[in-house]
A and B are shown apart, each in its own frame.
Chain A
Amino acid sequence: MHELPVTRSILGIVLRHAEANNVERVVAIHLQIGALSDLEAEWLQTYFDHLSRGTVAEGATLRVRRSPLTFRCADCSHDFAVTREELGTAQCPLCGSGDASIRSGTGYTVDSMEVQ
């Protein structure tokens, strides 16, 4: 739902790196989006196309990779992957503890960009 402010941040990061590297044109942007975030890739692209008009990133394609949701066990510090459906019932595969906090899978990262 908050694709617009997120897209604005993505564009800001991309343009900053483009300027620092004297980039003439950004072809593609690789993003990692956490499995637990509700961002829609299609909307990101729509907003991006609009916001990037007239910049070196105009026309760039957003390539989204969903990063897995992982928990860290509060008892033994083991990190383990959890599906959305398992959220409420997840147990540490090592020690069986049900006490764990989210370690990753809620954030968004700009990984890299392909440029000319």
Chain B
Amino acid sequence: MPLQIRQAWNALMLTVTWLCAGVAAAMLAFIVIYVIQRGGPALSVNFFTHLPTPVGVPGGGAANAIVGSLMIIAMASIIAIPIGALAGIYLALLGRGWLAQGVRFFSDVLTGVPSIAIGVFAYTIIVVPQKHFSANSAAVALSIIMLPIIVRTTEEAVKLVNPAIREGALALGMDAWKAIVLVTVPCARAGIVTGALLGIARVAGESAPLLFTAFGSQFWTLKPGAPTAALPLLVFQYAIAPYQDWQLVAWGGALTLIMLVFLLNITARLLFPAKLPR
């Protein structure tokens, strides 16, 4: 082929790659701008302080859903962060052999399991024996979704700590466990916090597993054993409802979720800019 044609083809196809990335970035812009436009007007003080109102009654908010979501996320974090961080430290420092390989592989696989299937799992093992929906079953479902992200991010963070620091501590006569807990882990704390933040960001907007665990509620419910409102669930239920004032609340909820999730993600990345596991 003549050189000019090859060069023209080259220029054309490289432009196409720019278009591909442009499409992806434009989609993000479309979605975010539209959610801000529709959700912005919904975010009044009422939204954060009032209970949902029946159709046609103005001034309704999503306060119970916001508090419910925070409660569920906090409970899920209490379960997932310690286990995930410890397992991540294990993989980074002690991990060899079948256990480490298995945990690494199945953590990666677990990140791809549909969240709705994990919801069915939590339903089967907690809601069915309990005989009612509850916030704690939702927390268990979300903790399973968070766990692999925390494990793999913690592993990466701890691996990045220079082993010479730990070896120095060992050479000075420190016990192996103290060298890990007092020297290596503190050096990796930014990355470990990042893992926790990414885990929370991953589940903060999850709605599918909450359908059959938290279930949703129109009232204030602060009991972990009772059905609980959650913001992503409210967005779903109100978005598909045929009432405009409910749809407005749904847009407000969508905007709140997107802001929360982006804030968590951007903070996590600024805190620990190294390559994150996918």
Q: Do A and B come from one complex?
A: no
